[in-house]
Amino acid sequence: MHERTRDFVDFMVRCDVLTFGDFVAKSGRRTPYFVNAGRYRTGTQVAELGRFYAATIDEAFGDGVDVLFGPAYKGIPLAVTTAIALAEHHDRDVGFCFDRKEAKDHGEGGSLVGHPLADGDRVVVVEDVTTAGTSIRNTLPLLRAAADVEVVGLVVGVDRRERGSRDDVSALDELAEDHGLRTVALATVDDVVEHLRDREVDGRRVLGDDDLDRIARYRAIYGVR
């Protein structure tokens, strides 16, 4: 496992973004763990988050990115902080944009804010977590309606490794196949379990035996086979 992945998992735990217990996901499924990017609450945390994403994007895409897109709402600060980190730490000054939930009918109008998309722009979408891939499937038509862009990638904080329409392919991998883009996760649920099993973070054991059992049962139902 990449050292950056280990550091990112610890970072999520310290920010109370990655928690374990009994939750209801957006999909309606009861899940034994939850990733809530809304709990990044300080400038220091958001700046560090941007550095994690920027390092991953620089490694995966190099200079093949023109614009970062962050789907509203949690993708908005992700796009902004990642663009800042790319400029400050990787000497890559890329544009960023995001969508409104409702199109604006005054001022500049439209449903997109930030860098105006242009034909030929290479876009990477940044998100916090993916389960079924619904958000990105809704995002792609929006981007392609704005201009003849090339959506080259999707970068997520955590890949839950849950099945798409087939048992042997995750929702994230299915997105890559269906839409011809590269998908990258800063960490997967497998990374989380491997790193936190029998390990303490700041003097406390985060992932207990009961948590591990619940995750195993959940993944037996919904995980990639």
- Residues annotated as part of the active site: 104, 106
Sort 176 into a burial class: Cβ within 10 Å, 0-12 / 13-18 / 19+: middle
CB 186 within 8 A of CB 155: yes
Token output for 184: 């990258």
E-assigned strands of the chain?
18-24, 30-35, 67-70, 95-104, 110-114, 122-130, 150-159, 182-188, 200-201, 204-205
CA distance 67 to 224: 31
Preceding amide of 40 cis, omega within 30: no
Strands 67-70 and 122-130: parallel
CB-based burial, 82-115: b 16+ in 10 Å, e otherwise: bbbbbeeebebebbbbbbeeeeeeeeeeeebbbb
Give the up-direction half-sphere exposure of residue 124: CA atoms within 13 A in the CB hemisphere.
29
